[in-house]
Structure formats: C-alpha cells, structure tokens
Structure 1
Amino acid sequence: MAGQTRRKVTIGEIADEAGVSNATVSKVLNGRSDVSAATRARVQEIMDRHHYQRRRPRRRGGLVDLVMNELDSLWSIEIIRGAQETLAEAGIGMVLSAVHGTSSGTGEWLEQIATRRSDGAILVVSDLTPRQRARLAAVKVPFVLVDPIGTVEAGVPTIGATNWAGAVSAVEHLIGLGHRRIAHLAGPRQLLCSRARADGYRAAMERAELTVPEGWLRFGEFNDRSGHGELSRLLDETAAAGQPLPTAVFAASDLQAFGAYTALRERGLRIPEDISVVGFDDLPVTRWSHPTLTTVRQPLHDMAAMAARTLVRLIDGEEVDLPRVELSTRLVERESTAPPGPAG
C-alpha cells in the first residue's frame, strides 16, 4: 500500500496489510469487544497512517423494499410483521411488492426499486437471477435473502431455518409415540426448504428402520387445498389397494395440516384417535384449531427481523460476519398427536 496514502483506501486493503479478515476490520470500526488488543492496535495504526475515514451511514428516514411471492397468507403476515417492526425501530419505512409465483418473473419489482432509489431490499423466497443481482449491484442496493428457492451464491446474506432438523424432530416425535406408518405431505419440490423437510422425514424413518410405502411422500403446495387433495388421494389409493392407512401424517406446513384435517373428517377419521397430524411453521392459528395442532415452530417473525437488522447493517456500510444464518426450529406439542389407536 506504499504510496497510496493520498487516495481513499478500502477495508480490504487495510485487512490485507494487517493480515486479518475484512470482518475483523469492521469489528474494530464498530468498537466490537471480540477483537484482541494487539489486533485492534495494529488495525487502528494502519487506518490512522492511511487517514482512513469510515463511510458515513446513510441518513435514516429512507425506504426498504420487502419483495415476496404473495402477501395474503398467514405465513406472509408473520414475515411482514417481523420486517416492519424492526425497520420501524431503525427509522426506515418499508414498501411491499408481490411477484405472485415461485420465480421473480419479469423483474418489474427490481425496476421499481431502482426508480424509487430504495436503500435496500429484503427478498423472500425469490429466485434471484445473476442479471437481477447485477442490476441491484449497479444501482447500489444491498439486499438480504430469506428462505431462498435455489442455491445461493457465496457471500450473499441469507436468513433461513433448520428445516431438516425440524422435520426430523417431528417424525421422531411420532415414532416416539409408537407410530410406524407415517406419511409426509411435502411442499413444492423446487424449494430448498421443502426438500430439506422431505429429507429430514426420510432420515428419521430410515434411522428407525421404517419403510416409506409408495406414494406416502407427496410433494404439493404450502396451502390447505394441497394438503386436502394430496391426503385424500393418498387415503383413497391406500384403501383401494387393501393396505392399512397411515396412523400419522407429517405436513410440511400448518396450512397443509389443516387441509389434512378436512380430508380426515370427511372420511369420519378422528384426530388424533385414528390419525395423528403434525404441521410446520407454528402460525398463531394453530393454537385455536380443534384439536390444537402439534407443529414445528419456524421462527418466521425472527427470521424477518434478523434479515431487517442485517440489511440495516449493510445500508450503514458494515461487513456481515456470517452471510448464511439458520435459526433454530423446535417442536411444539399440542393435542393433534397421540399414540396410535388399537388398529395401529
């Protein structure tokens, strides 16, 4: 860096000269305590010698875009609440955009972000293409992904949940109650979270040396209509083949679980006396259903809040230490699960 003191140096150049990471330099700039005194002194000396001046944070009072596939589901409401509350505390407004589908489509939302010069964007279940990422970089809009559809490039800030572990806990709960015939209503096949939950289901079944009959793992959509339709077909096909029905169903979302409730009641089957049901998400309505739903709590509000906090840090020019964060899921036991009945 000799001879470069007349121009503005970057955090990366300071990190290279000090022999530390960019994140460590950022910690020194932000007064974090988890840096040794010797490292702090070395980094500070280099910054002083090169007259480094931290980029001033953007003025509060700006706007952040929250881009989602849909805005009318209970799942979406929890995400919206978490993001809005956190951004409001930071003095930042929020604009909602819906892309209506599993793909970000034509990218109209992207041009709207560029037009209104948003300070940043939270992208929820959006399939971000290289072209769209390049466009965000060109207009200098930092972004954070929440629960993305596909594989994410290294270094892109991403907030998710422990989907695989959550699914394992759900199935192991049922196995612990004595269930051996367990079906799974999965979400959309193309979503990473759906595949992770399906893989967790398979892993728990294999660990218990239980087989999954043909057609008992069914990919669908995260809604009650899909849960109702897929379970109805599963039950009809199993009965037509003269095979025993499942004694338990693990649904990849609470809404699918409620669709399963309807399918079971239409056939005169009781929950949990005849068939136990487990969901995934722990939406507020699960505590009001009859019976109340055993489910895996996915911290949707917390995921959105962390995404918002991460975005605020990016807007303020800070480095993000952990680009990929997965928040813990946990099983919440309620009334919809019980040991299998005499016929089980």
Structure 2
Amino acid sequence: MRAGAGQRTTLAMVAEAAGVSLPTASKVLNGRGDVAAATRGRVEKAVRELGYVPVSGRRNTNQNRIVDLVFDDLVSPYSLEVLRGVTQAGAEAGVDVVVSRAPTGKAAEAANWAGKLKTGGREGLIVVTSELSLEQVEAFARAGIALVVIDPLNLPRVEVTSVGATNWSGGLTATEHLLSLGHQRIAFAGGPRQASCARARLHGYRAALEKAGTAADDSLVLHGAFGYPDGLEMGGRLLDLPKRPTAVFAASDATAVGVMEAARRRGLRVPQDLSVVGFDDTILATLATPALTVVRQPLPDMGRVALRTLLRLIDGESLDSHHVELATKLVVRDSTAAISGQGER
C-alpha cells in the first residue's frame, strides 16, 4: 500500500513493511551482498509496493552511500571513541564513512565546502566539536547535504540536529561526589567558554555548590581548551593560589591528567592532597596514575546515534527532537578521596 496523498514514503516505512531493520533495508537498497535472498526479496517487494524513491533519486545500487565525519582534532582519545561508534554504525548500515579534519581558510568557505561534498557524492555530514557558521549550515542545506553535529562549539540555528550527553547532570554529579567527600574548596578547570557542553558542565558545578550551600569562588573557575597542555596550565594556576583548592573538577579526561601533573610537579599527591575528577572516560582515565574518577559520557554510542540520525535525515524522515542527549554516569576510581585536612594552606 502506497503512502497517502502528500506523504512521502520513507526507508523506515519500507523496513517496517518488509519486517526488517532500517540498516538491513539500507543494505538492500545499496546492493550489499550480505543479506539473505528471502530478506532481499521482501525489501524489494516493499519498495515496489510503496513506491519508495530516495530523496536524491535512485542511486547506483553498486555504490554505497557516503558520509563525511569531520573532527577539529583527529588524534584525541575523545575523537577516537566517537570515530569507533560512527564507523561501527556505518558498517552495519552499509555506509562508507570518510574521515577528515575540519577545513580552514578558503577550504572552509561555505559554498566551497558544500560544493566539494556534493561533487564527492556525499549525502551527509557529521561534524564533531567544531564551530560552524550560519553560512556553512545554509550552504549544506542548499546542496542537499544532511547535517548532524556532536558536542558543537556553537549552534548557528536551533534547527541544526545535534547529539550530546547530559553535561549539566554530569557536572552536578561530579561536584556532588567531591562535596560528599568533605571538599568545600572545589575548583573547575573548564573547557572553551563558547562550547555549549563546557558551559553546561560549569552550570552543573555551580548548581551543586549552590544546593550544598557552598559559596562559589570565581577565582577557582578557569577556562581553556579540552586538552593536556591547558589542564597543566590551569592546574598550575589553581595550585599556586594563596589558598589552593582541595579538589578539581576537570571538564575532560585530558584536562584532568594535566591537572594531576601540575600537582605532581608541586609535590602534591593525588588523592591524598588533591582530589581530581575528569569527564569523558576515555582510555586516559584508566591509564592515569592513579586511575581517574570520571563522569562517563557514552562516546561510541553518541557516534552511533549520530550516524543513524543522519541516515534518517537523508531519507527525509522527521525527527522527534533536533537534540539528543545520552545519559552520563559517575565512575569512581582512585583519584578522589575524603578530605585529609592537608589541602588548604
């Protein structure tokens, strides 16, 4: 049965009619060979009966659809975890994922970037922790390039589809954990001021202090890039204060490891003299000495959700929400402990 008047048949409708998953239906439409003949027959029958035609017209079934995955930093542990999730979901759906760094200069000009994507046969774009201009977003839309962003530094339009984690809740949970251990002088080694995820973590930190009746001290709140060098620098500034903190909530694992190194260089022990909490739960958290207490955000799941959401946009499906947040969770390891009374000086 075809869709009603004015209603476009989507791939999800084909999958439902054939009794298969959306990735399986996508594999059949893209000519993948790893689908049983009977299953392929059901999908092809549903395509004929429903009159399904992809948004961009029928593709050559000998070719997979192609999407771009763009990072501002390709080598960070955070990026590797997101990459793992996107590529796994892409393999399941029969989608080729092309990985690159965010363009700069003339290559980043809106019409130039969108044109290269279109010429290269890209149907969609996932952008991770990068800043996008309104002109770029509008150029992608004009070129018919679907867009999903993960942990964006900004959102030029509220309609831009984004995937993230419960950053405010994570900031609240991290700070409440340190308060429960008796810490009152808790610092925040944050991310870039313009990053929405960093602001949400800061707001969660402030909310926990306010809830506990602990006065916030602006001298204990610093901002920097999500990385080890900035963590080292912020940690040094915080630990050189006349009245230093007894605990630090860092806005990323790499930042937290930098803070821990700043403490080591000053002869301070973690967690005996300084408790530290990170955010992400990348491989750095378990490799650190001591192992890092963190707020875990499900980075591979964020990548998988981003890819699947992008495919829905490509197929013209409507979304229940333009923003998806996955739950964070506190993971207690060895870098936090009850206050010893030795922290302040």
If the length of structure 2 is used for normalisation, what is the TM-score? Answer: 0.80
Whether the 8 Å contact between 2:137 and 2:156 is mirrored in structure 1 is no
Residue 144 of structure 1, CA deviation: 1.1
Distance 1:339 1:324 in 2: 37
Q: Which amino acid counterpart does residue 162 of structure 1 have in structure 2?
A: T
Q: Which structure 2 residues correspond to residues 1-344 of structure 1 after superposition, within 5 A?
A: 9-11=5-7, 31=16, 53-56=51-54, 59=61, 61-99=64-102, 105-107=108-110, 109-151=113-155, 153-236=157-240, 238-239=241-242, 243=243, 245-344=244-343
Measured in 1, the distance between the counterparts of 2:131 and 2:228 equals 24
- Equivalent-residue separation in structure 1 for 2:94 and 2:315 (angstroms): 13
> Is this contact kept in 2: 1:55–1:317, CA < 8 A?
no
Q: Distance in 2 between matches of 1:316 and 1:85?
A: 20
> Residues 151 and 62 of structure 1: is their aligned pair in 2 closer, same or farther, counting only changes over 3 Å?
closer
* Inter-partner Cα distance in structure 1 for 2:114 and 2:142: 12
- 1:334 is displaced (CA, Å) by 0.2
The runs of 5 or more residues in structure 2 that have no matched partner are 20-48
Please report how far the alpha carbon of residue 28 of structure 1 lies from its aligned counterpart in structure 2 after TM superposition.
6.3
Q: How many residues align?
A: 302
Shifted more, 326-335 versus 52-61: the winner is: 52-61
Counterpart contact for 1:75–1:300, Cα < 8 Å: yes
Please give the secondary structure, in 1, of the residue aligned with 2:122: coil
* Kept after mapping to 1: 8 A contact 2:272/2:337: yes
Range with greater deviation from structure 2 (92-101 or 306-315)? 92-101
Secondary structure of 2:119 counterpart: helix
Query: In the alignment, residue 55 of structure 1 is paired with which amino acid?
Result: V
Distance 1:29 1:118 in 2: 23
Is the 1:124–1:147 Cα contact (8 Å) retained in structure 2?
Answer: yes
SS at match of 2:84: helix
**CA distance, structure 2, for counterparts of residue 218 and residue 100 of structure 1:** 29
Which runs of 5 or more structure 1 residues have no equivalent in the other structure?
A: 1-7, 15-24, 34-50
Equivalent position amino acid for 2:7 in 1: I
- CA gap of 1:321–1:187, structure 2 versus 1, over 3 A, is same
Residues 206 and 125 of structure 1, relative CA distance in 2, 3 Å threshold: same
Residues 97 and 109 in structure 1, CA contact (< 8 A), matched pair in contact too: no
Matches of 2:130 and 2:217, distance apart in 1: 33
Is the 8 Å Cα contact of residues 132 and 155 (structure 2) preserved in structure 1? no
> Aligned with 1:274: secondary structure?
coil
Is the 8 Å Cα contact of residues 127 and 149 (structure 2) preserved in structure 1?
Answer: yes
Q: Is the 8 A contact 1:26 1:319 kept in 2?
A: no
Structure 1 CA distance, aligned partners of 2:130 and 2:342? 45
Cα pair 1:66 1:96 within 8 Å, conserved: yes
How big is the shift at 1:299? Answer: 1.1
Counterpart of 1:340 in structure 2: which amino acid?
I
Quick one: distance in 2 between partners of 1:28 and 1:83? 24
Question: Match of 2:268, SS?
Answer: coil
CA apart distance, 1:100: 6.5
